[in-house]
Structure 1
Amino acid sequence: MRVISNRRLVDFAYLHPDAGPSLQSWRKLLEARPYLGFNELRQVFGSVDVVGDRFVFDIRGNRYRLIVAISFPAQICYIKAVLTHAEYDRGHWK
């Protein structure tokens, strides 16, 4: 699967250096293979949840949240937001 845009991950990691390795590991796992749907995604990423039309991943032991939109037919993952847990809880991203 293709990830658009890695820049958001890099920018977030600049502000939160402890998140960098986990975000890049997530990206490499996602790009390593195709995913046909949520069930396959859940097999690899056990902490992924569906919220509306977005997918929310816990990053670095639930310290951060990665919010994405995925087109399974096109095999493209669009990064919408990377947030701290506190920012996520405020809900402004919805």
Structure 2
Amino acid sequence: MGKENFAGSAWVGLDIPYSCVHPKVLAEPKFQDYNSPKMGENVETMRVIAKSTLRQFWEQPAYRDAQGPLESGYEEALRSAWTSPQAVKSQYGSASICGNHRVVFNISGNKYRLVVEMQYRAGIAWVKFIGTHAQYDPINVERVNDY
């Protein structure tokens, strides 16, 4: 069997036998930069990835009090059309705008922190971290990718 180098895809530089790659991986679309100026700017609502991540957090006995604020924040995000960090900041004045397209939201009176990667042009808010303030302190907001 030959080898596939995946030129032009997110798998660039891999030199592995074609037969070792799952067909589903081969069918994946090429990497898309959702913050590219080529993406459309007509975002009507946000897509949050993923509610299940938030649910896993609030279903832990120690964090049950986060359910209400996380659910209401999730619903607000679905109804929002954030196209820039300024749009987020105008709705959530206490949100911190960070590098690498990250926004930090204070949840339950700053008891919890939610780190989200915003892909404004695509209308996507991607949960990267949720935890207590103490769990948040040692992380690198621009690199964290817990989910």
Give 1:43's match in structure 2, choosing from 83, 86, 90.
Answer: 90
Query: Would the aligned equivalents of 1:64 and 1:85 in 2 still touch at CA under 8 Å?
Result: yes
Question: Which residue of 2 is the match for residue 18 of structure 1?
Answer: 65
Question: Which residue of 1 is the match for residue 123 of structure 2?
Answer: 75
Q: 1:33-90: per-residue Cα shift (whole Å, max 9, x none)?
A: 2111111111111111122211100000000000010110000011011010000012
Task: Considering Cα pairs closer than 8 Å and 6+ residues apart, tell me whether 1 or 2 has the greater RCO.
Answer: 1
Query: Does the residue aligned with 2:134 lie in a helix, a strand or coil?
Result: helix
Question: Which residue of 1 is the match for residue 47 of structure 2?
Answer: 2
Query: Does the residue aligned with 1:68 lie in a helix, a strand or coil?
Result: strand
CA distance in 2 between counterparts of 1:81 and 1:70 reads: 13
Task: Find runs of 4+ consecutive structure 1 residues off by over 6 angstroms.
Answer: none
Is 1:28 the equivalent of 2:75? yes
User: Rg: which structure is higher?
Assistant: 2
Which protein is richer in helix relative to its size?
1
CA distance in 2 between counterparts of 1:10 and 1:49 reads: 23
Shift of 1:92: 5.7
RMSD: 1.2
Which moved further from structure 2: 56-65 or 83-92?
Answer: 83-92
Instruction: Give the TM-score normalised by the residue count of structure 2.
Output: 0.61
CA distance in 2 between counterparts of 1:57 and 1:38 reads: 12
The unaligned stretches of length 5 or more in structure 1 are none
- Tell me the amino acid that sits aligned with residue 5 of structure 1: A
Question: Which residue of 2 is the match for residue 59 of structure 1?
Answer: 107
Shift of 1:91: 2.1
Which moved further from structure 2: 65-74 or 38-47?
Answer: 38-47
CA distance in 1 between counterparts of 2:94 and 2:73 reads: 12
